[in-house]
Amino acid sequence: VWKETLNLLRGVLSEQEFRLWFFEVDYYDGSEETLRIRVPSSFVRDQIKQRYQRLIEDKFYELLGRKLLLDFVVEKRSLAQERPVSSSSPQREIPKERPPHPQLRRDYTFENFVIGENNAFAANAALAIAKNPGTAYNPCLIYGGVGLGKTHLLQSIGNSVYGEFQNLKVVYVTAEEFTNEFIASIQNKETHKFKTKYRNVDVLLIDDIHFFMNKTETQEELFHTFNALYDANKQMVFTCDRPVSELKNISHRLRSRFERGLNVDLQPPSFETRYAILKKKIEQKPIHIPDEVITFIAEHVTTNVRDLEAALTKLIAYAELVHRDITIDIAKSQLKDMFTTTKQTNITIDLIQKVVADYFGITQSDLRNKKRTRTVVFPRQIAMYIARELTEYSTTEIGEYFGGRDHTTVMYAIQKIESKMRTDPTLDTIIAQLIREVQEGTK
């Protein structure tokens, strides 16, 4: 039945989706009421449960004409030796525990990463890479605003590969560390050492590559490292706080390398995902938090996962200090100042213009004058949109700040951005990030 069900699923799902989730799944055992499948991790189990359980049980019904439930056993199939179908190998090989990887946080794993609509594409890609480093998607670039899980995902790939492929050399660095190390190697006349180190890795993970902007020499070095690894089919994964097209002062040839392969983005989590993330984080702590409080936090902390965690940490710390249970009232009073009120009174249009101009590498006066070249029109529209979102100014007043444009121009700009955001998730990410920067700029 399982085989036939898989065939049916293959018909409904895209090839990539099918491979991603069912590649390492097989039949375990069955009874009258249930059929158990073996899945490689609780992560895959949760995903299949959430996405496909209903569908699969429907297929069972189609095939058998009666109800059959799907159940799971979490068990790794060792990669070196595919599990023989017979169950006559009771001492299955338990993967040897390696000492923790020196550069990776142990808790940044796929198991601890909650998948939602906002990050599913990136997470699936990361998972596929972890299963088949060097062949799945190479290189891969994960981009998105702060606190959305870039580092967590990147390190999850590292931890997974490090645990599963014991012969592969995994290196994780931030772009900043890479740069500093390179500069130091020049000073110490040890560039050959540096080159050898980075050209002999199997999986290279570089976090926050936007740091390479303006670092011409480091870019040059990375370009050569990239080519060496790429030609040898070594896996590379990068993260960035914006899409590659938005990077400034990155050599053309390096940019085109980053764009090669797969580019995936992380969006801010929806309410459901925020709730699921909080649940997951609380699960790991010896503390009880009422559901109503979890809902409250998920509803109000909407910016990103880092803020979500910060809210939780703050609440737990408070409760521990005053020896009280966490209640909704405590949550309300303690978290008041963390909530993003959409209309913060201390946000000025001047600040918005600064942030936007900075991001697009233009000057503030470009936003205020009458120029109509493409490079300034679009940032200007974005700045107007953000001004409308974050301040109480009327469209007429906003127009005055932008070189005395009338309110219809401002309204047109806002509509333009709104409709663009609906079709272009990248723009959504960029604007969310700019808004965060503006809000942070007032602190």
Binding residues for Mg ion (CB under 5 A): 150-151
In the complex with Mg ion, the residue whose CB is nearer, 52 or 238, is 238
Q: Which residue is nearest to ligand ADP (CB)?
A: 149
Residue 71: exposure state from Cβ atoms within 10 A (0-12, 13-18, ≥19): middle
Closest-CA residue to 38 (of 52, 51, 28): 28
Distance between CA atoms of residues 384 and 318, nearest Å: 40
Select from 147, 158, 163, 379 the one that contacts ligand ADP (CB under 6 A).
147
Question: In one letter, which amino acid is 235?
Answer: Q
Which segments of 340-424 does DSSP mark as H helices, in order?
Answer: 349-360, 364-368, 374-390, 395-401, 407-423
Q: Which residue is nearest to Mg ion (CB)?
A: 151
Question: Strands 26-30 and 170-174: what pairing?
Answer: unpaired
In the complex with Mg ion, the residue whose CB is nearer, 35 or 205, is 205
Q: Does 306 bind ligand ADP (CB under 6 A)?
A: yes
In the complex with ligand ADP, the residue whose CB is nearer, 155 or 219, is 155
Distance between CA atoms of residues 438 and 341, nearest Å: 13
Q: Does 59 bind ligand ADP (CB under 6 A)?
A: no
Read off the DSSP letter of residue 376: H
Select from 133, 134, 139, 149 the one that contacts ligand ADP (CB under 6 A).
149
In the complex with ligand ADP, the residue whose CB is nearer, 154 or 410, is 154
Q: Does 114 bind ligand ADP (CB under 6 A)?
A: yes
Mark the segment that binds ligand ADP (CB under 6 A) among 47-55, 70-78, 150-158, 177-185.
150-158
Mark the segment that binds ligand ADP (CB under 6 A) among 61-69, 112-120, 313-321, 346-354.
112-120
Where is the binding site, in residues?
A: 147, 149-151
- Judged by beta carbon distances under 5 to 8 A according to partner kind, the member of Mg ion, ligand ADP, none in contact with residue 119 is ligand ADP
CB of 239 to Mg ion, least distance (A): 7
26, β-bridge pairs: 38
Select from 259, 309, 389, 397 the one that contacts ligand ADP (CB under 6 A).
309
Per-residue x/- track, 19-58, ligand ADP (CB under 6 A): ----------------------------------------
Q: Does 242 bind ligand ADP (CB under 6 A)?
A: no
CB of 149 to ligand ADP, least distance (A): 3
CB of 309 to ligand ADP, least distance (A): 5
DSSP string, 67-97: --EEEEEE-PPPSSSPPPSSS---SPPPPPP
Distance between CA atoms of residues 121 and 261, nearest Å: 14
In the complex with Mg ion, the residue whose CB is nearer, 151 or 179, is 151
Select from 244, 305, 312, 384 the one that contacts ligand ADP (CB under 6 A).
305
In the complex with ligand ADP, the residue whose CB is nearer, 114 or 421, is 114
In the complex with ligand ADP, the residue whose CB is nearer, 151 or 303, is 151
Distance between CA atoms of residues 126 and 144, nearest Å: 14
* Longest Cα–Cα distance in the chain: 81
Which segments of 26-174 does DSSP mark as H helices, in order?
Answer: 42-64, 120-131, 150-164
> Please, are residues 334 and 350 in contact by the beta-carbon 8 Å criterion?
no
- Judged by beta carbon distances under 5 to 8 A according to partner kind, the member of ligand ADP, Mg ion, none in contact with residue 146 is ligand ADP
Read off the DSSP letter of residue 170: E
Total chain residues near ligand ADP (CB under 6 A): 16
- Distances in whole angstroms, Cα of residue 223 to Cα of each of 229, 241, 255, 313: 10, 20, 9, 41
Report the 10 Å Cβ neighbour count for 233.
Answer: 11
Q: Which residues contribute to the site for ligand ADP (CB under 6 A)?
A: 112-114, 119, 144, 146-152, 277, 305-306, 309
